[in-house]
């Protein structure tokens, strides 16, 4: 019998890459592992076809049609979840397979979730938070009892965050239920791939499969006309907007990445101001916009009907928008891996070049253009540092299991010792976490609301003290931190998105602000929402959101420092960015000499 991959690839007139064949073989042999390959070369299919062949071969050998959840595919973003859902369903449809695939994210309706519990699909594509919500249900063991594969997509993105810790905990619980569970991760290139594999698949033999394909990346810097008149710090890069518009016009579809949501709102507004024909042709995408709007933008990108989208990290990860043939990074990306990730959104097909423009927002950032090129040439890719001893998440997870089928204290302690995050946690520390849940620990014991768990004397499991406590916990599961958010609704009820309460509190009724790419006027402010109507005012404040700023990575900083060393040695003409900055450097040297002579230095 030919494999499903053979049939599908033959029908598409494709040829598999060596790393795909290697992955299919490893999965066929029942191995676990981590896959690393460039964007657009078929990492999803490398694992998916291996799983399909494994499933059907096992069913044929047992002469049975096994039902129940077989594969759990976890992604960090809902947009990526939908992308995987479309790609895998395409395979099932073309090969006419009886293998049901469903989505379960924050966008999934309550009725659809209930149907999944009663009649589970063979494959479920979901997010870390949704997995923990499943573990907080009464029959989670029955739901996962036939699970054979867990796939964690974009593992590098989760690894350096508390959401990665959430996955470590969930995987250990699922491994206790299914000791033969196969675990696979998909990762972009990072500096600690081997460690990433060991954290995802601890205390188990596993394989690291690395592609030898080198993705071609073309990096171009957008220069101002006069470096001496360009700002030396701050600013948003709007001065170069007239150089950006022709780039957008000459490409099919462009993604403009900003580092903050407020900067994305400003750039979207200014692009339409400078080129009114863009109205209806460009869009805005960030995490505070409504699901409806974001899904529309993603669908429009898939169809290739948008000239450009101004976005944030909400579109960073491996979503395949084939119409996108250009990326513009506005301002410093703050990290090499992030820059490469964003570059990979263009040329998302085998053999194509990823094209990315770097737009410096001030003169110092012009040097970063050369730093980026140097870092890419020398593979200065950052490591993702994993979190350890995150007691807040451990306490949350203890509560999650208690809300589900009850917390077995000894069993969970043995599980967490198998994780990288909690391998050093002592039993005494663990019991202090339990004490915080049962009676508020030493500090909060007088407050009844902190008496959340009680021990069931019949089975020895810890369970919620009330249904209210269980409900409150389900609504608060997760590791993504934000300020108090207020819903923004048009008069008449249409939901546009959310902004932070601290921003809305500074506005009065009748004042205008820009959000979702349009001017809005405040009509009424309620407890947790603000009612607005379209405004005719062309100016207004733009919201800012907490946590929107990135820190510069160590590798990125070292690359910048290397460029300063190049300048100091007098060989600053090696990169075009340094040649462009040469007059500025000469002027600074003259100024320094003057200051020294005047004894100011």
Domain covering 3-210 in this structure, CATH number: 3.40.50.300
496 vs 567: CA distance, rounded Å: 49
Q: For residue 229, with 0-12 CB atoms within 10 Å meaning exposed, 13-18 middle and 19 or more buried, which class applies?
A: exposed
Evaluated on CA atoms 22, 27, 31, 35, the torsion sign reads: positive
Contact 293, 79 (CB under 8 A): no
- What pairing do the DSSP bridges indicate for beta strands 71-74 and 254-257? unpaired
Chain segment 184-206, per-residue pLDDT in tens: 999 988 999 999 999 999 999 99
Give me the pLDDT at residue 548, please: 54
CATH 3.40.50.300 domain extents, the chain: 3-210, 217-382+553-590
Give me the pLDDT at residue 599, please: 66
Torsion of CA 592, 593, 598, 599, to 10 degrees: 70
* pLDDT averaged over every residue in the chain: 91
- What pairing do the DSSP bridges indicate for beta strands 453-455 and 462-464? antiparallel
Give me the pLDDT at residue 1, please: 46
Q: Indicate the range of 85-94, 242-251, 547-556 predicted with least confidence.
A: 547-556
Stretch 155-162: mean pLDDT: 94
DSSP codes joined into one string, 315-355: G-S----TT--EEEEES--SSHHHHHHHHTTSS-STTPPEE
Give me the pLDDT at residue 572, please: 61
Contact 330, 267 (CB under 8 A): yes
Evaluated on CA atoms 280, 341, 160, 165, the torsion sign reads: positive
Stretch 142-152: mean pLDDT: 97
Stretch 317-343: mean pLDDT: 89
Contact 70, 151 (CB under 8 A): no
User: Angle at the Cα of 516 (from 510 to 521), degrees rounded to 5?
Assistant: 5
Counting every residue written for the chain, the total comes to 601
pLDDT band at 416 (very low <50, low <70, confident <90, very high): very high
- 532-561 burial, b for 16+ CB within 10 Å, e for fewer? beebeeeebebbebeebeeeebebbeebbe
pLDDT at 594 over 60: no
Q: Indicate the range of 127-131, 248-252, 552-556 predicted with least confidence.
A: 552-556
pLDDT at 407 over 90: yes
Chain segment 45-86, per-residue pLDDT in tens: 999 999 999 999 886 656 455 678 999 999 998 878 988 999
- What pairing do the DSSP bridges indicate for beta strands 453-455 and 308-311? unpaired
pLDDT band at 255 (very low <50, low <70, confident <90, very high): very high
- 458-496 burial, b for 16+ CB within 10 Å, e for fewer? eeebbbbbeeebbeebbeebbbeeeeebbebbeeeeeeb
Helices (H), 348-466: 363-377, 391-403, 409-416, 427-439
pLDDT at 436 over 70: yes
Residues 6 or more apart whose Cβ sits within 8 Å of residue 126:
72, 73, 74, 75, 81, 103, 104, 105, 134
Chain segment 287-329, per-residue pLDDT in tens: 889 888 988 998 999 899 999 999 998 888 756 788 999 999 9
DSSP, collapsed to helix, strand or coil, labels residue 222 as: coil
Contact 41, 14 (CB under 8 A): no
Q: Which of 469, 464, 468, 440 is nearest to 453 (CA)?
A: 464
Determine what percent of the chain is predicted with pLDDT higher than 70: 94
**Paired tokens of 265:** 């709102």
DSSP, collapsed to helix, strand or coil, labels residue 72 as: strand
Q: Which of 231, 273, 286 is nearest to 544 (CA)?
A: 286
Looking at the DSSP assignment, which residues form a beta bridge with residue 580?
Answer: none
476 vs 473: CA distance, rounded Å: 5
**Paired tokens of 458:** 């019949």
8-state DSSP, 26: H
pLDDT at 27 over 70: yes
Chain segment 210-220, per-residue pLDDT in tens: 998 888 999 99
- 279-303 burial, b for 16+ CB within 10 Å, e for fewer? eeebbbbbbbbbeebbeebbebbbe
pLDDT at 541 over 50: yes
553 vs 193: CA distance, rounded Å: 17
Q: Which of 354, 312, 355, 363 is nearest to 333 (CA)?
A: 312
Q: Beta strands of 173-263 (E only): which ranges? A: 182-187, 206-210, 217-221, 254-257
Looking at the DSSP assignment, which residues form a beta bridge with residue 515?
Answer: 518
Higher pLDDT among residues 318 and 120, named by residue: 120
Distances (CA, A) of 533 to 110, 269, 496, 504: 30, 18, 11, 15
Q: Which of 538, 503, 544 is nearest to 518 (CA)?
A: 538
Edge-to-edge strand ranges of the sheet holding 123-126: 101-104, 123-126, 71-74, 149-152, 182-187, 32-36, 206-210
37 vs 210: CA distance, rounded Å: 6
Phi, psi of 311 (to 5 degrees): -145, 175
pTM: 0.88
Q: Give the CATH superfamily of 217-382+553-590.
A: P-loop containing nucleotide triphosphate hydrolases (3.40.50.300)
Q: Which class in CATH covers the domain with range 391-476? A: mainly alpha
Contact 345, 313 (CB under 8 A): no
Q: CA 443: distance to chain centroid?
A: 37
- What pairing do the DSSP bridges indicate for beta strands 512-515 and 495-500? unpaired
DSSP, collapsed to helix, strand or coil, labels residue 387 as: coil
């Amino acid at each position: 019998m030919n494999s499903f991959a053979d049939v599908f690839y033959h029908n598409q007139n494709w040829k598999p890459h060596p790393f795909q064949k290697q992955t299919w073989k490893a999965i066929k042999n029942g191995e676990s592992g981590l896959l690393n390959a460039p964007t657009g070369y078929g990492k999803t299919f490398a694992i998916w076809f291996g799983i399909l062949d494994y499933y059907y071969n096992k069913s044929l050998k047992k002469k049975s049609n096994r039902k129940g959840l077989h594969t759990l595919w976890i992604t960090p973003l809902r947009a990526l979840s939908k992308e995987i859902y479309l790609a895998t369903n395409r395979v099932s449809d073309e090969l006419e397979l009886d293998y049901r695939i469903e989505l379960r994210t924050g966008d999934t309706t309550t009725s659809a979730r209930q149907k999944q519990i009663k009649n589970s699909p063979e494959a479920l594509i979901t997010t870390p938070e949704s997995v923990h919500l499943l573990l907080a249900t009464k029959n989670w063991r029955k739901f996962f009892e036939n699970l054979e594969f867990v796939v964690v997509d974009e593992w590098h993105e989760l690894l350096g965050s508390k959401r990665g810790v959430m996955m470590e905990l969930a995987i250990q619980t699922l491994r206790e239920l299914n000791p033969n569970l196969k675990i696979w991760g998909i990762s972009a290139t990072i500096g600690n791939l081997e460690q990433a594999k060991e954290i995802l698949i601890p205390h188990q033999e596993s394989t690291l499969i690395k592609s030898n394909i080198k993705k071609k990346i073309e990096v171009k810097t957008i220069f101002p006309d006069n470096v001496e008149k360009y700002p030396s710090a701050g600013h948003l890069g709007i001065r170069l907007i007239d150089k950006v518009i022709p780039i957008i016009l000459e490409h099919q579809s462009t993604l403009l990445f900003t580092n903050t949501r407020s900067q994305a709102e400003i750039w979207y507004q200014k692009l339409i101001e400078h080129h009114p024909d863009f109205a209806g042709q460009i869009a805005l995408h960030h995490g505070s916009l409504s699901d409806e709007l974001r899904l529309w933008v993603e669908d429009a990108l898939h169809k290739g009907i948008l000239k450009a989208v101004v976005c944030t990290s909400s579109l960073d990860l491996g979503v395949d928008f084939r119409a996108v043939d250009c990326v513009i990074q506005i301002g410093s990306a703050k990290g090499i891996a992030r820059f490469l990730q964003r570059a990979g959104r263009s040329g998302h097909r085998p053999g194509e070049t990823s094209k990315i423009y770097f737009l410096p927002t001030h003169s110092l950032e012009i040097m970063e253009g050369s730093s980026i090129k140097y870092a890419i040439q020398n593979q200065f890719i950052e490591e993702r540092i994993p979190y350890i001893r995150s007691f807040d998440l451990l306490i949350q997870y203890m509560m999650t299991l208690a809300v589900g089928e009850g917390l077995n204290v000894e069993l969970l302690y043995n599980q967490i010792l198998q994780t990288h995050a909690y391998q050093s946690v002592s039993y005494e520390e663990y019991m202090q976490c339990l004490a915080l849940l049962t009676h508020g620990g030493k500090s909060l014991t007088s407050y009844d609301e902190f008496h959340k768990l009680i021990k069931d004397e019949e089975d020895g499991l810890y369970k919620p003290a009330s249904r209210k406590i269980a409900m409150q916990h389900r609504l608060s599961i997760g590791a993504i931190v934000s300020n108090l958010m207020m819903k923004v609704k048009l008069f008449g009820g249409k939901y546009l998105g959310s902004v932070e309460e601290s921003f809305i509190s500074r506005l009065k009724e009748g004042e205008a602000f820009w959000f979702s790419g349009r001017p809005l006027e405040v009509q009424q402010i309620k407890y947790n929402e603000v009612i607005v109507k379209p405004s005719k005012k062309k100016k207004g404040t733009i919201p800012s959101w907490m946590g929107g700023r990135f820190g510069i990575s160590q590798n990125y900083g070292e690359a910048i420092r290397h460029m300063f060393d190049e300048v100091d040695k007098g060989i600053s003409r090696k990169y075009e960015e340094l040649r462009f900055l040469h007059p500025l450097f000469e002027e600074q040297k003259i100024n320094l000499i003057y200051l020294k002579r005047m004894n100011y230095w």
